[in-house]
Amino acid sequence: MSSRPPVCVTGMGVVCAGANHVGELRDLLAHPVAHFQTPTVWPIKHPSGELPVAQATALEAGEVAGRPRTHRLALLAAREAVGTGPLPDAIVLGSSTGGIAATESALEAGITSPDAYRYHGLDTVALHLAETLGVCGPVITISTACSSAAVALSVAAALLRAGLARRVLSGGADSLSRLTFHGFRQLQLVAAHGCMPLDANRDGMTVGEGAGFLVLETAPDERPVLAVLSGTGLSCDAYHATSPHPEGQGAVLAMRRALADAGLEPRAISYVNLHGTGTPDNDQAEARAMKQVFADVQPALSSTKGLTGHALAAAGGIEAVISILALRDGLLPANTGLETLDTSLEISPVRAPTQAPISAVLSNSFGFGGNNACVIFEKAPSSPSPHPFPRYAGRGDLRATTGDVPPASGLPALRIAASACLTARGGLDETWNALLSRDSTAGLVPDAAFARAAPAAFVRRLKRLPRLMLALAQTVHTASGRAAPPEAIAVGTAWGPLAETQEFLRKLFESGDQFSSPMDFIGSVHNAPTGQIALLLGSQAPNLTSSAGERSFSQALLCGSLHIVSGAGSALVVAAEAFEPRLSPLFDPEGARGPLVSDGGAAFLLIPDDGDPGVRLRWLGEGGNDGAVALVDRFAGVTPDYDAVVVGIPAGHDLAKDPAYARLGQLLPSASIVAYRDRLGQHASIGATAAAIAGRAVAVGMLPFTGAPIALPHRRLLLLELGPRLAAIEVFA
Amino acid sequence: MTGQTDPLVAELARKLVETLGLDLKPEAVDPAAPLIGAGLGIDSIDTLELVVLIERDYGVKIDNRAAGVEAFASLNALAAFLRQRRPASPA
């Protein structure tokens, strides 16, 4: 075991079908009865009715004024997790639905006011928590489909270990939606009568919803430690967009990486909470993976999705709570829904709730894009065994105060081995030359600029965003001259694959909820392009997708940097957006209208700083509330070293009401603050493009964002992305 | 190569190429060749896309493996499958 501080769980909260809080989930595990029902969240138009779902009853059915379901489910569980304890200074949340349920109703009703779509973005869920609780540090959203919450927990652990936060609220939240329900139905993956994981007659999953959160900290001083998050492991199948590798190769990798991270032998695991969706393919691949990892000594294992349903991006959060309950109370959860065991799987699940000593639990979460994540929880070392389990009677009070500002970033700078961008002018050379000629590079990327990224057969089913991202990834991979695929892939996108979402919903609505395209559903998840990059480059490395408005690139850079800190030899970082004529103006009303409307993005192949000459990129921090001003203040002592501060100001952002920007103005002469969107164009990931240009600028000593290029004697630029929260990176040569 | 003399086969070939974004002309699809796992590069997602298309355009459900194997044996087989199961049309 390494000497790094343990990541302690000091709080948890949950909401799912059949359980409105942790105490109820504990009761449900002891007396497992599934609560599956016909959905009442949307009006049923399907002539044969609707297949059962696992609907959370903590909320009233349907949409009410205010925040969408995902947001409200998230807040219920987050308040329970934080309780009356100290406030977290960071949030890492997994979500794949965001405000889609509200968006579906508004789109179908033909509502054209962007107000109806203001909570569509995935980022708005975590921002809702951050604003309600008063969180000052990074607010990160991970969207890797059904592995989102488990990937989020891995990022939270890495943040704590890197000393970038003291206390992180982390987990996942997703609501039922027509997009996901009908998407899975069209893929013939929804069970007719409730899911039956590991059953010989299993016929699919039961789509669920909910939220599950943990409070994680490395130096707990106020609350008892419930468990230790001792290891996490990520991988990508790089095999197929949706089907798991038939032998569970990616799942094996993720489990082994989690075990190695925890410093545990497989036989140390007492219980495995399976991904166990109940689809024929998943359960078979996962069983094969279990046999490879655990060989002849299989631990106790079960899938609890027959009880809770499959809450998609929330599943890993809900199952983290289940894992910790199992650990604390010595309770092996039953494989609910199982009638006739599929003996060909050659694994034997727990059939009824069973008392047993449990010292370590591994929880699996797998998702579209071949995205795999495993987390391991162990008993708290100092906690005496029969510690009474805390019952949270109430939800934490709303507090007007804000929490601590997280510590300053100690992340190392990374060397840019290769970079690329795509703008209306083409690639990095064309974009640079246009800026030198004092031209604007705003506009949509011409098809010809990214048409030949991958073989025609590879991209035949792909729409604009995955094609843009493949072109960026392929360009930097080739330019880096490295034969081996990147050892981590981190992608940022605020809006995800919009054309796929639009097409899926259009066909669904036109057919009265009967038909839509399975292909478009698969393509609509935010991490679909990331999975395609892994497939194209043949990378089974950790594969992360973050989605946080204008901070999406910064968060992809953070995720890539954290993996390099933990040993990856290279990280591919990509951020991009694809304009969609119907949805973009609704979702991003200021940004997606007017002459500056753009799309495209940038990519970097980053490697540890090897001392070679070249350009470096470093993630400095993210903050909101008091944290944004504190972040700016940190530069007060060092600003003379920066030749300029390059600022991304989102359209519609009110500078007059931005205390961080005001503070920046007090610190610096206005001449050295350079806004780039007027020249470069605007979309949520344009900050990535600005960073690619800044990289070339520090290399040649001249920045072409203004009328007359600015000389860069120090060859060092500070890049700030403004918005609901501030993100900061630096570029230097 | 063609042999797409049957108008239903020609119609299916057109829909196949269009829906799946195949990089070939509809006439070039051999009506007797297997649709899946052969030269066309069609995989499980494509198959599900075709299942939805067939139910939507022809009112025929393919909801089990056996029906899938029969229907997707070839374009000719798919045409025969549809003729056999299609709801009686008014014409």
- CB contacts, 8 Å: B51 with chain A: 188
pLDDT score recorded for residue A410:
79
Percent of chain A with pLDDT over 90: 82
Q: Helix or strand or coil: residue A712?
A: coil
Binning pLDDT at 50, 70 and 90, where does residue A404 land?
confident
Q: Tell me, yes or no, if A136 is annotated catalytic.
A: no
Residues A374 and A445 occupy one common structural domain? no
How many independent structural domains does chain A possess?
2
Query: A316 to chain B, minimum CA–CA distance in Å?
Result: 26
Task: Note whether residue A2 is domain-resident.
Answer: no
CATH number at residue A87: 3.40.47.10
Give the residue carrying structure tokens 């970097």: A604
Residue in A with minimal Cα distance to B44: A243
Residues A682, A687: Cα–Cα separation, whole Å: 9
Query: A518 to chain B, minimum CA–CA distance in Å?
Result: 6
Residues A568, A1: Cα–Cα separation, whole Å: 19
Residues A700 and A643 occupy one common structural domain? yes
Q: List pLDDT tens digits, range A289-314.
A: 999 999 988 999 999 999 999 999 99
Q: Does A461 touch chain B (CB under 8 A)?
A: yes
Q: List pLDDT tens digits, range A352-388.
A: 999 999 999 999 999 998 999 999 999 987 644 433 3
Task: Note whether residue A383 is domain-resident.
Answer: no
pLDDT greater at residue B23 or residue A228:
A228
Residues A128, A67: Cα–Cα separation, whole Å: 9
- The C-alpha R_g of chain A, in whole angstroms, comes to 24
Task: Note whether residue A406 is domain-resident.
Answer: no
Phi-psi region of A658 (alpha: psi -120 to 50; beta: other; left: phi over 0): beta
- Is the predicted pLDDT of residue A266 greater than 90, yes or no? yes
Residues A467 and A325 occupy one common structural domain? no
Residues A183 and A294 occupy one common structural domain? yes
Using the 8-state DSSP alphabet, how is residue A550 labeled? B
Residues A641 and A545 occupy one common structural domain? yes
Residue in A with minimal Cα distance to B43: A240
Give the residue carrying structure tokens 């470069």: A680
Residues A419, A730: Cα–Cα separation, whole Å: 15
Q: Does A517 touch chain B (CB under 8 A)?
A: yes
Q: What average pLDDT does the structure give for chain A?
A: 92
Q: List pLDDT tens digits, range A538-588.
A: 999 999 999 999 999 999 999 999 999 999 999 999 999 999 999 999 999
pLDDT score recorded for residue A392:
33
Decide if A365 contacts A373 (C-beta within 8 A): yes
Query: A242 to chain B, minimum CA–CA distance in Å?
Result: 8
Phi-psi region of B3 (alpha: psi -120 to 50; beta: other; left: phi over 0): left
Q: Which domain holds residue A132?
A: 7-378
Least CB-CB distance to B52: which of A240, A460, A515? Answer: A515
Contacts of A272 (CB under 8 A, 6+ apart): A290, A294, A299, A300, A301, A361, A362, A363, A364
- Kindly state the average pLDDT of the residues A267-287: 97
Residues A517 and A627 occupy one common structural domain? yes
CB contact (8 A) between residue B45 and residue A522: yes
pLDDT score recorded for residue A672:
84
Residues A228 and A373 occupy one common structural domain? yes
Task: Note whether residue A612 is domain-resident.
Answer: yes
Residue in A with minimal Cα distance to B24: A457
Binning pLDDT at 50, 70 and 90, where does residue A591 land?
confident
CB contact (8 A) between residue A243 and residue B48: no
Query: A389 to chain B, minimum CA–CA distance in Å?
Result: 46
Residues A140 and A190 occupy one common structural domain? yes
Closest by Cα among A184, A185, A206, A187 to A195 = A206
Percent of chain A with pLDDT over 70: 95
Where does a domain end: A352, A378, A404? A378
Residues A725, A603: Cα–Cα separation, whole Å: 23
- Residue ranges of the domains in chain B? 7-85
Residues A645, A664: Cα–Cα separation, whole Å: 9
Where does a domain end: A378, A397, A428? A378
ipTM of the complex: 0.90
Residues A473 and A527 occupy one common structural domain? yes
Reading chain B (91 residues) residue by residue, the pLDDT tens digits are 457 789 999 999 999 999 999 988 999 999 999 998 777 888 888 999 999 999 999 999 998 888 998 999 999 999 999 999 987 655 4
Query: A9 to chain B, minimum CA–CA distance in Å?
Result: 40
Give the residue carrying structure tokens 């960073």: A691
Residues A329 and A435 occupy one common structural domain? no
- CB contacts, 8 Å: A525 with chain B: none
- CB contacts, 8 Å: A535 with chain B: none
Binning pLDDT at 50, 70 and 90, where does residue A390 land?
very low
Q: Does A452 touch chain B (CB under 8 A)?
A: no
Q: List pLDDT tens digits, range A430-442.
A: 999 999 999 999 9
Least CB-CB distance to B48: which of A240, A460, A518? Answer: A518
Which of A461, A516, A521 is the best mutation test for B, with the most CBs of B within 10 A?
A461
CB contact (8 A) between residue B21 and residue A460: yes
Q: Tell me, yes or no, if A275 is annotated catalytic.
A: yes
CB contact (8 A) between residue B52 and residue A241: no
Q: Tell me, yes or no, if A526 is annotated catalytic.
A: no
Residue in A with minimal Cα distance to B65: A188
Closest by Cα among A345, A375, A367 to A237 = A367
Residue in A with minimal Cα distance to B39: A457
Q: List pLDDT tens digits, range A55-101.
A: 998 886 544 557 999 999 999 999 999 999 999 999 999 999 999 99
- Kindly state the average pLDDT of the residues A454-458: 88
CATH class name, domain B7-85:
mainly alpha
